[in-house]
């Protein structure tokens, strides 16, 4: 995959590569890569001394395997905190995905209160083998686009799972993917990793993704420890702890729409 990336910038448009293909449809993108694009757009318009602390992504429509326009603006500027919003549109102008992100001042000279985080609860990725699994016949994301290490649970089974993620390729060709962008990409997989049924049986569509970062993540490895809660009402929630190699980083959640699967297509955003 030398020379590949998830997206290629072509003027004002982002051109998706085969690596973003969703496991649910050959014509749509997985939710992780667009989430990374929105984090990138918010970081691009925010002051360099402010760091992304919360990102909320709203999935309005399936994201096609087609050119995308990504824009962002700061709607609450500040020197200590700032709020920006971003959106992804198709070439017809339809809004596909929205996001808002709070960024906070970062400093290193404050007294240390309440920072007794527990030791890293997941085995180091270097001690874990790369899993051998197939999501679907056509899917390239995350199997081809990400280096995965199973730290708990079973990717071939249902229930809680802990997985280390590391991108094999850049988010955008010619750019360095930031740790925040990597977190946004990885966190969208939580509902699939912690599913309670297979996609042939049930839909478990996440309508959104919210990531809270207690500190700036470092390095290329992102660890997510994901649990999903499904209820007979047809609603659910994924609840995920996020780590890097230094330990606790933050948390993410997804609102889930649960229903019986219509045919063999199964769950997903498209």
Tens-digit pLDDT profile for residues 27-42: 999 999 999 999 999 9
Mean pLDDT, all residues of the chain: 90
CB–CB of 201/164 below 8 Å? no
List, in sequence order, every beta strand (DSSP E) within 77-173. Answer: 81-89, 95-105, 146-152, 161-167
Band the pLDDT of 265: cuts 50, 70, 90: very low
Give the model confidence (pLDDT) of 170-192 as tens digits. 999 999 999 999 999 999 999 99
Report DSSP letters for 127-155, one per residue. GSPPP---S-SS--TTTTTEEEEEEES-T
d(CA 62, CA 185): 16
Report the sign of the C-alpha dihedral through residues 177, 178, 179, 181, in that order.
negative
Report residue 185: phi and psi, to 5°.
-70, -45
pLDDT at 111: 74
Dig out the tokens for 15 from the structure. Answer: 């051109």
The DSSP 8-state label assigned to residue 232 in this structure reads: T
pLDDT at 120: 64
CATH fold of the domain at 7-106+129-260: Porin (2.40.160)
Report how far apart, in Å, the C-alpha atoms of 16 and of each of 33, 64, 101, 171, 173 are. Answer: 9, 9, 23, 10, 10
Report how far apart, in Å, the C-alpha atoms of 22 and of each of 17, 139, 150, 180, 234 are. Answer: 12, 6, 20, 21, 23
pLDDT at 268: 42
**Res. 59: pLDDT tops 60:** yes
Report the sign of the C-alpha dihedral through residues 101, 245, 173, 50, in that order.
positive
Report how far apart, in Å, the C-alpha atoms of 75 and of each of 42, 48, 78 are. Answer: 11, 16, 10
Report how far apart, in Å, the C-alpha atoms of 254 and of each of 8, 73, 134 are. Answer: 28, 24, 24
Put simply, whether the predicted model's pTM sits higher than 0.85 gets the answer yes
Cβ neighbours, 10 Å, residue 166: 16
Band the pLDDT of 266: cuts 50, 70, 90: very low
Give the model confidence (pLDDT) of 225-263 as tens digits. 999 999 999 999 999 999 999 999 999 999 999 999 876
Q: Using omega within 30 degrees of 0 as the cis cutoff, is the peptide bond preceding 255 cis?
A: no
Dig out the tokens for 165 from the structure. Answer: 């993620």
Q: Where are the domains of the chain?
A: 7-106+129-260
pLDDT at 270: 42
């Amino acid at each position: 995959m030398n020379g590949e990336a998830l997206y290629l910038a072509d003027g004002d448009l982002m051109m998706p590569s085969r690596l973003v293909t969703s496991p649910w449809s050959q014509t749509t993108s997985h939710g992780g890569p667009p989430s990374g694009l929105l984090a990138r757009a918010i970081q691009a318009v925010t002051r360099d001394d402010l760091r992304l602390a919360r990102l909320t992504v709203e999935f309005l429509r399936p994201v096609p395997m087609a050119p995308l326009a990504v824009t962002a603006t700061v709607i609450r500027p500040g020197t200590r905190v700032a709020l920006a919003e971003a959106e992804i549109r198709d070439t017809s102008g339809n809004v596909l995905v929205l996001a808002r992100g709070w960024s906070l001042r970062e400093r290193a000279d404050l007294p240390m209160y309440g920072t007794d985080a527990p030791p890293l609860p997941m085995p180091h990725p270097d001690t874990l083998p790369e899993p051998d699994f197939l999501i679907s016949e056509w899917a390239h994301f995350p199997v081809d686009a990400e280096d995965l290490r199973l730290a708990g649970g079973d990717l071939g089974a249902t229930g809680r799972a802990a997985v280390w993620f590391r991108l094999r390729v850049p988010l955008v060709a010619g750019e360095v993917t930031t740790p925040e962008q990597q977190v946004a990409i990885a966190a969208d997989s939580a509902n699939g990793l912690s599913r309670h049924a297979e996609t042939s049986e049930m839909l478990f569509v996440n309508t959104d993704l919210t990531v809270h970062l207690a500190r700036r993540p470092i390095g290329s490895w992102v660890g997510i420890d994901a649990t999903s809660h499904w209820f007979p009402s047809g609603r659910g929630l994924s609840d995920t702890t996020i780590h890097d190699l230094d330990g606790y980083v933050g948390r993410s959640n997804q609102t889930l729409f649960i229903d019986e699967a219509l045919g063999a297509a199964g769950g997903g955003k498209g």
